[in-house]
């Protein structure tokens, strides 16, 4: 049994989800690792101590810098607001820690590159929380696409809509301030779809985007006479051109009434189509050409034990998994990668490649034109063409297949 000691920073929505996943993953996947909940950091000592006892961590601190340099921590897990990711990740890498960071990795591609190169030079393992790709249903979708079962992919149409800010009376938060969040719906929701699009289809070469902030002011702490300016977009839409010739679109909105976890996509190939809806996350709809005219239609596949990673959770098909289960798969990949010294997907480099697309989308909104995704910078400082599949994704860089990519 390899002992892996966790240091968790931030205990809001994601911090709790990660703590649950670190408890679930070893039980579900019978891992060869023993997880120790070593230390937790929050904004002050009191909150840290309360959360440590709630979530089962041995020690706590009100100073994250103490956590990242603690000699008894192997993995630093960053679940703080976006603007803190860079400093926390760089400090953890400098201390020789493996780093698990929530998305978006950074505020822009340059920062993501800086963190990526630091991690690659230090030789530490990294993983970014693009959990939707870990769903057995999405893994199945990728398998179907990779095996050519819907032919050559020609189109990817997707949305990620939620309504957590649809009510104009919802107060201001860090997510609405550029300095703390970066972009709005794009960083928060669109980043997941960009990651999925590149995972399922191919690297994105070019985007043309447009965005809008509908609710331009929000109250501070719910006091109506104390308003703050909303500094980033409520919704964004973009057209895509992929390196393999496919085209597509992404929409993301945080003000889409009624949409709670509305991540949806349709992949169209030359021989069929796939449809996925995250609000029905254990279902995949497939249409395959060649059916007799009078029997044509989409088939609904309910994920079950025959599909990747499902069996470990449940031996019966169609019983359905949940959001936290995807996090458990993600944490399984992290623990396996660290224990076996294998590359993990999606690592910081994969997130950097997503950031290049996010930056291009923002530039396109500003300049109202198509924007090409620049070539990415590799470890050696040389430039890599986006027309080729990610080295990290295909395992070429290390010569070994990354954990977490089927
Ligand atoms: N993967 C996903 O599906 C998903 C979903 C939601 C959020 N996220 C990402 O997770 C990150 C956190 O989002 P959240 O929704 O959990 O936010 P949150 O506001 O619920 O939690 C943030 C936590 O960080 C703590 N924190 C803030 N400053 C800190 C500091 N200096 N030191 C220590 N702790 C500090 C806060 O006290 C809070 O507990 C964001 O980057 C967000 O984009 C990912």
Residue 43 near ligand 1, beta carbon < 6 Å? yes
Q: For residue 262, what are the β-bridge partners? A: 161
Distance from Cα 104 to the centre of ligand 1, integer Å: 11
What's the confidence (pLDDT) of residue 323? 97
Q: Any idea what DSSP says for residue 358?
A: H
Q: Which of 8, 11, 12 to mutate to test the pocket of ligand 1 (most atoms within 8 A of CB)?
A: 12
Residue 62 near ligand 1, beta carbon < 6 Å? no
Cα-to-chain-centroid distance, residue 292: 40
Q: What angle do CA 314, 315, 319 make, to 5 degrees?
A: 55
Number of the ligand 1 atom closest to the C-alpha atom of 187? 43
Distance from Cα 334 to the centre of ligand 1, integer Å: 19
Segments making up each domain of the chain, as ranges: 2-132+332-344, 133-322
Nearest CA to ligand 1 atom 5: 14
Distance from Cα 381 to the centre of ligand 1, integer Å: 32
318 touches 284 (CB < 8 A): no
371 touches 362 (CB < 8 A): no
Distance from Cα 85 to the centre of ligand 1, integer Å: 10
What's the confidence (pLDDT) of residue 395? 34
CA dihedral (145, 151, 153, 157) positive or negative: negative
What's the confidence (pLDDT) of residue 223? 82
Pairing state between β 2-9 and 33-41: parallel
Distance from Cα 11 to the centre of ligand 1, integer Å: 7
Q: Count other C-beta atoms under 10 Å from residue 298's C-beta.
A: 14
Among 1.10.10.10, 1.10.3720.10, 3.30.360.10, 3.40.50.620, name the CATH number for the domain at 133-322: 3.30.360.10
Residue 131 near ligand 1, beta carbon < 6 Å? yes
Residue 41 near ligand 1, beta carbon < 6 Å? yes
Residue 162 near ligand 1, beta carbon < 6 Å? no
Residue 77 near ligand 1, beta carbon < 6 Å? no
- Greatest Cα pair distance in the chain: 67
Q: How far is residue 276's CA from residue 281's CA, in Å, rounded to a whole number? A: 7
Q: Could you list the pLDDT tens digit for every one of the 406 residues in the chain?
A: 899 999 999 999 999 999 999 999 999 998 999 999 999 999 999 999 999 999 999 999 999 999 999 999 999 999 999 999 999 999 999 999 999 999 999 999 999 999 999 999 999 999 999 999 999 999 999 999 999 999 999 999 999 999 999 999 999 999 999 999 999 999 999 999 999 999 999 999 999 999 999 999 999 977 888 999 999 999 999 999 999 999 999 999 999 999 999 999 999 999 999 999 999 999 999 999 999 999 999 999 999 999 999 999 999 999 999 999 999 999 999 999 999 999 999 999 999 999 999 999 999 999 999 999 999 887 655 666 554 444 444 333 334 568 887 7
Q: How far is residue 233's CA from residue 178's CA, in Å, rounded to a whole number? A: 10
Residue 88 near ligand 1, beta carbon < 6 Å? no
Residue 82 near ligand 1, beta carbon < 6 Å? yes
Residue 393 near ligand 1, beta carbon < 6 Å? no
* Token duo for residue 255: 């003000």
Residue 102 near ligand 1, beta carbon < 6 Å? yes
What's the confidence (pLDDT) of residue 185? 98
Nearest CA to ligand 1 atom 31: 43
Nearest CA to ligand 1 atom 38: 12
Q: How far is residue 196's CA from residue 185's CA, in Å, rounded to a whole number? A: 16
What's the confidence (pLDDT) of residue 385? 56
Number of the ligand 1 atom closest to the C-alpha atom of 85? 41
Distance from Cα 16 to the centre of ligand 1, integer Å: 10
Distance from Cα 284 to the centre of ligand 1, integer Å: 30
Residue 184 near ligand 1, beta carbon < 6 Å? no
Q: Any idea what DSSP says for residue 246?
A: -
Distance from Cα 130 to the centre of ligand 1, integer Å: 14
Distance from Cα 173 to the centre of ligand 1, integer Å: 11
Among 3.40.50.720, 3.90.45.10, 3.40.50.150, 2.40.10.220, name the CATH number for the domain at 2-132+332-344: 3.40.50.720
Residue identified by tokens 């009376």 is 169
């Amino acid at each position: 049994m390899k002992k892996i000691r966790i240091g968790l920073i931030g205990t809001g929505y994601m911090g709790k989800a990660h703590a649950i996943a670190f408890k679930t993953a070893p039980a579900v996947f019978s891992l060869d690792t023993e997880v120790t909940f070593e230390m937790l950091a929050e904004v002050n000592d009191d909150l840290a101590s309360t959360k440590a006892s709630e979530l089962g961590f041995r020690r706590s601190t009100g100073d994250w810098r103490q956590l990242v340099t603690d000699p008894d921590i192997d993995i630093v897990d960053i679940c703080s607001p976006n603007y803190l990711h860079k400093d926390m990740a760089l400090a953890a890498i400098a201390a020789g820690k493996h780093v698990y960071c929530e998305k978006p990795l950074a505020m822009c591609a340059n920062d993501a590159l800086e963190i990526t190169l630091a991690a690659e030079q230090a030789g530490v393992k990294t993983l970014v929380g693009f959990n939707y790709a870990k769903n057995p249903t999405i893994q199945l979708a990728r398998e179907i696409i990779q095996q050519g079962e819907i032919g050559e992919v020609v189109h990817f149409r997707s949305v990620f809509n939620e309504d957590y800010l649809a009510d104009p009376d919802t107060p201001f938060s860090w997510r609405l301030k550029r300095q703390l969040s970066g972009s709005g719906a794009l960083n928060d929701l669109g980043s997941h779809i960009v990651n999925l699009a590149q995972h399922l289809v191919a690297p994105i070469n070019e985007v043309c985007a447009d965005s809008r902030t509908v609710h331009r002011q929000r109250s501070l702490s719910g006091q109506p006479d104390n308003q703050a300016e909303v500094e980033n977009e409520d919704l964004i839409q973009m057209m895509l051109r992929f390196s393999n010739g496919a085209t597509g679109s992404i929409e993301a909105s945080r003000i889409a009434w009624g949409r709670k976890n509305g991540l949806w996509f349709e992949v169209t190939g030359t021989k069929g189509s796939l449809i996925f809806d995250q609000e029905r996350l254990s279902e995949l709809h497939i249409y395959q050409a060649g059916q007799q005219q009078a029997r044509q239609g989409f088939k609904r596949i309910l994920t079950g034990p025959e599909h990747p990673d499902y069996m470990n959770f449940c031996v019966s098909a169609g019983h359905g998994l949940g959001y936290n289960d995807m996090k458990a798969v993600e944490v399984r990949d992290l623990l396996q990668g660290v224990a076996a010294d294998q590359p993990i997907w999606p690592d910081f480099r994969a997130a950097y490649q997503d950031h290049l697309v996010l930056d291009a989308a923002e530039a396109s909104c500003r300049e109202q034109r198509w924007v090409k995704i620049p070539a990415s910078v590799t470890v050696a400082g040389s430039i890599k063409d986006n027309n080729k599949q990610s080295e990290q994704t295909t395992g070429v860089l290390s010569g070994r297949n990354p954990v977490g990519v089927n």
